[in-house]
Chain A
Amino acid sequence: MSRRAVDALFQALYLLTDIRFILRETAPVHELDDEQKVRAGKAIEKLKKQVTILEEELS
C-alpha cells in the first residue's frame, strides 16, 4: 500500500479542480486578472509536486 501515492493522487485531483474553477469563472475568454494568475500559478506548482510524488511512488 502506498498511502503517499494515494494522497498525492487526491491532492492532484483537488488542485486540478481548483484550476478547473479558474477556467469556469473566467469563461469564455479566460483572461485571468492578477489574483487569478497567482492562484493558478500556485495550484500548478503544487500540482507538479504531487506529480513528482506519484512518479517516485509508482515508477
Chain B
Amino acid sequence: MKCTADIDTRDVEELYINIDPIQAGGRLTVDAQKAALAYSDGYSVCDNCRKPFRLDYINKPPIADFHHDCAEWLNMDAVRLVPGARRGFQAVASSIVEKGDPVLVTALSHYTEFVSLEQAGADIHEIPKDECNHITADNAAARIEDVTREAGKTPSILFVEHVDYQYGNIHEIAGIAKVAHQYDIPVLLNGAYSVGIMPVDGKALGVDFVIGSGHKSMAAPAPSGLVATTDEYADIVFRTTQAKGDITGRTFGIKEVEMMGCTLMGVTVVGLMASFPAVKERVLHWDREVKNSNTVVDALCAIEGTQVESDMPREHTLTRINTIDSFDKVAETHKKRGYFLSQSLKKKGVIGVIPGSTRVWKFNTYGLTDAQIDHVCQSFQEIARENGLNVS
C-alpha cells in the first residue's frame, strides 16, 4: 500500500511485533498519533504565539506548562526541548567547554556525545568500562586523576550514559556524579535509554544535566528530545542572544543562543506533549517491562549455545545477545545464510533483528503486551527447533 506514488505506507507496527533495539520506546501513544493528525502542518503550534515570541512561552497548546511539568517530573529546575538528544549534548558542550579543554566520556558513549564535544574543540578522554561492562565511580575517579595530571587542569565536563546503547546496562551514576563533583566537574546524564521509559530523578542522581530523547524513549515523533538542568547552569546553557545588527541596530529579544530561537515547532512538540501523561504513567510500571525482558531472555537462553552479553538478570529492556554457538551455527549451512533468522522471524510476525545478524545482536522488548512477549518467545524457540537446535 502506498502513501503517495513513491512512498510506501509504513504499516510494520500494525502487522508485526517490532523488537528493533532503537525503536521500541519511541512508538507513539494513541494520543500522540491523534495529536500528530491535527498538528501535522509545519508551524502548527505557532497559531497563538505572542510576545515574547518563544516556544516555551506558548500557552495554547500548553507548551509553557509542559516545560514546567517536564522539569518537575525529572526533578530538575529547567527544561528546553531540542531536536534529539544529540542537540542536547551539543547545547551543553557548546556552553560549557572551551577549545582545548579536557573532557570525559565513557567507553560506552554514543558517537553523538563525541561529536558534540569535538565541535566544541574538546580534548576527549574515555573512562574505561570494567570487566562487567559497567562504568564505575572508581574508574571515573582514576580517569579524572589521570586526565587532570596529563592536561594540567580538570576536565570541564563528564558525559555518562544512564543506560548504554551497547549492552543496555544501568551504570553507577550517583557514585560517578559524587566523584566528579569532588573535582568541580559538572555531569551530563545521557538518558536516551531511560528518560520516558524508567524513573529518572536528576537531583537524586546528582547530575547537572539530563538529556532525553523523545523519539527513542518518550513516545514522540523524531527528531525530539530535551535538555534539563539546574538553576546553577540554566543561565549558562539557556543564555539569551546579545547579538545586534551593526547597520540595522536590530536585537533579537529573548531568543536563546543554543536553542537557535525556537526548536520543536509542530508535530514533534505536540507529539511529546500528547504522550506525556502516558509516559509519566508508564515509567511507574518499569518492573513489568523488566519482567518481560527477562522472560524473552530466558526463552533465548533455553536455546543451546545462546548467551547474554548484557547484565543478568536483565534490568532493562534493551539486551545484547550472543548466538554465535546457536543461530550462527545454523547460518553456516543454511541456504539463506545469516539472513535465515530475520526472515524466519518475519514469517512468524516478528521484525527488528538486523537482517544477516546471527552472531551478536540486540533487541528491545519495551512496550509489548503479554501475548506479544509469549509470541516472541515461541517464535525464537520454534525457529531453533526447526533448524536442529536443542531447546531445554
Chain A positions near chain B (C-beta within 8 angstroms): 10, 13-14, 17-18, 20-21, 23-29
Instruction: Kindly list chain A residues whose C-beta atoms are within 8 Å of the C-beta of B350.
Output: 28
| Beta-carbon contact of B37 and A20 below 8 Å | no
Q: How far is the CA of A20 from the CA of B12 in the complex (A)?
A: 12
Partner of B30, one of A13, A18, A26, A27: A18
| Beta-carbon contact of A21 and B33 below 8 Å | yes
| Beta-carbon contact of A17 and B14 below 8 Å | no
| Beta-carbon contact of B34 and A20 below 8 Å | no
B369 at interface by CB-CB < 8 Å? yes
B38 at interface by CB-CB < 8 Å? yes
The closest CB in chain B to the CB of A10 belongs to: B38
Among A18, A21, A24, find the residue whose CB has the most chain B CB atoms closer than 10 A: A24
A3 CB to closest chain B CB (Å) equals 15
Instruction: Kindly list chain A residues whose C-beta atoms are within 8 Å of the C-beta of B13.
Output: 24, 27
Q: How far is the CA of A4 from the CA of B247 in the complex (A)?
A: 52
Q: Report the contact-size class of chain B (Cβ under 8 Å from the partner).
A: 10 to 19
| Beta-carbon contact of A17 and B349 below 8 Å | no
Q: How far is the CA of A47 from the CA of B61 in the complex (A)?
A: 26
Q: How far is the CA of A57 from the CA of B350 in the complex (A)?
A: 43
Instruction: Kindly list chain B residues whose C-beta atoms are within 8 Å of the C-beta of A27.
Output: 13-17, 349, 372
Besides A10-B37, A17-B30, 14 other A-B contacts (C-beta < 8 A): A10-B38, A14-B34, A17-B33, A17-B34, A20-B14, A20-B33, A23-B14, A24-B14, A26-B369, A27-B15, A27-B17, A28-B15, A28-B350, A28-B375
Q: How far is the CA of A17 from the CA of B35 in the complex (A)?
A: 10
The closest CB in chain B to the CB of A23 belongs to: B14
The closest CB in chain A to the CB of B38 belongs to: A10
Instruction: Kindly list chain A residues whose C-beta atoms are within 8 Å of the C-beta of B17.
Output: 27-28
Q: How far is the CA of A10 from the CA of B40 in the complex (A)?
A: 13
Q: How far is the CA of A27 from the CA of B27 in the complex (A)?
A: 14
Q: Mark B347-385, 1 if CB is under 8 A from A, else 0.
A: 011100000000000000000010110010000000000
A31 CB to closest chain B CB (Å) equals 8
| Beta-carbon contact of B369 and A25 below 8 Å | yes
| Beta-carbon contact of B14 and A29 below 8 Å | no
Q: How far is the CA of A24 from the CA of B17 in the complex (A)?
A: 8
Instruction: Kindly list chain B residues whose C-beta atoms are within 8 Å of the C-beta of A13.
Output: 34, 37
| Beta-carbon contact of B38 and A28 below 8 Å | no
List 30 interface pairs A-B (beta carbons < 8 Å), by A numbering.
A10-B37, A10-B38, A13-B34, A13-B37, A14-B34, A14-B37, A17-B30, A17-B34, A17-B37, A18-B30, A20-B14, A20-B33, A21-B30, A21-B33, A23-B14, A24-B13, A24-B14, A24-B27, A25-B369, A26-B369, A26-B371, A27-B13, A27-B14, A27-B15, A27-B16, A27-B17, A28-B17, A28-B349, A28-B350, A28-B375
Q: How far is the CA of A21 from the CA of B38 in the complex (A)?
A: 17
Q: How far is the CA of A24 from the CA of B30 in the complex (A)?
A: 10
Instruction: Kindly list chain A residues whose C-beta atoms are within 8 Å of the C-beta of B37.
Output: 10, 13-14, 17
